[in-house]
Structure 1
Amino acid sequence: MTNEILVVGAIPARTQAAVTAVVKDLEQAFNAHDPVALSEQFARETSWTNAVGTRLDGRAAIAEFSGPAMKGFLRDSYARYDVVKLLEITPEVIGVNVRQTPTDSSGNPVAGPHGVTTYVIARQQEGWKIVVGQNAPVDAPPAA
């Protein structure tokens, strides 16, 4: 993940680290094609809309959808997730903007669909978890 994160609000370093760790753990689960580890980054009661517009409500629904997807159309998909902005909504609720870059299995950027994601990550009894998320595909940024 990049170190160039725009932080809006008085978000303590400890909270920034915890929230970005959720995103990093989500990235690792996606790249390992592990639907259970991926779903565990979400709160039990959550709402997630994926890149194809399917809304999944609840951690169980995310795991149920992700299993076949990761064995099917996502089996050769890998990505890097870069947190680009943290927005303090309340001290225990943080809005997070993420840029997704397609990679090969070694983490090297490749041609393919890019994405932008917005998460609302909140402190839960079991730690920081995604409570709401929206993923959207975007065109690759122009070459620098």
Structure 2
Amino acid sequence: MTPTTPDPHDLEQIQAIVRDVQDGFNTNDASLMNAHLAEDAIVVNARGAVLSGRAAIQKASEDALAAGYLKESKAYYELSDVAALSPVIISARKNAWSTKQDADDGNPPEMNALYIFAKRDGRWLIWRRQNTIVSGNP
């Protein structure tokens, strides 16, 4: 399998999904943050917990954003390495900083994530996501 560049319309949809995740995170809105999850999604959060299914991911997000470890957190996201693996599967890497200024200043990302998007019923959804805190240089 040779990955290809996604169709521009598909890429716009993927970018919009990640913006919703960012906006939901920054406003402590778990519903917006998870609006594009597939029902059978699997997410590994920044603490390494494996969450299976949209309902479990939603509950964990609500808890973390409302009163948990993410309550005061903010993030700025940039996508890279976006590749169409098939007409219905796209992979992408997301880099994250606390602020856009940190990214603009050339600081290394504080976190990265690997996303797998699946197209179902004409709509792109997050099917898998693995978040990793960046602890320093390799």
* TM bucket normalised to smaller: 0.7 to 0.9
Task: Indicate the residue corresponding to 2:9 in structure 1.
Answer: 14
Match of 1:120 among 109, 116, 123: 116
Task: Indicate the residue corresponding to 1:3 in structure 2.
Answer: none
What TM-score results when the alignment is normalised by the length of structure 1? 0.82
Task: Indicate the residue corresponding to 2:74 in structure 1.
Answer: 78
Structure 2 residue identity aligned to 1:21: A
Deviation at 1:10, TM superposition (A): 3.9
Task: Indicate the residue corresponding to 2:102 in structure 1.
Answer: 109
Q: Distance in 2 between matches of 1:108 and 1:25?
A: 20
Q: Distance in 2 between matches of 1:10 and 1:52?
A: 31
Consecutive unaligned residues of structure 2, counting only runs of 5 or more, are none
Q: How does 1:90-105 map to 2 (within 5 A)?
A: 90-103=86-99
Match of 1:59 among 47, 54, 58: 54
Q: Distance in 2 between matches of 1:26 and 1:53?
A: 18
Consecutive unaligned residues of structure 1, counting only runs of 5 or more, are 1-7
Number of residue equivalences: 130
Identity value in percent: 26
Any conservation in 1 of the 2:25–2:74 contact (CA below 8 Å)? yes
Deviation at 1:60, TM superposition (A): 0.7
What TM-score results when the alignment is normalised by the length of structure 2? 0.85
Structure 2 residue identity aligned to 1:29: G
RMSD of the alignment, in Å? 2.0
Any conservation in 2 of the 1:40–1:59 contact (CA below 8 Å)? no
Deviation at 1:125, TM superposition (A): 2.4
Any conservation in 2 of the 1:97–1:117 contact (CA below 8 Å)? yes
Deviation at 1:17, TM superposition (A): 0.6
Check 1:97–1:34 CA distance in 2 against 1; reply closer, same or farther (3 A cut).
same
2:57 counterpart SS class? helix
Q: Distance in 1 between matches of 2:92 and 2:41?
A: 15
Q: Distance in 1 between matches of 2:49 and 2:75?
A: 20
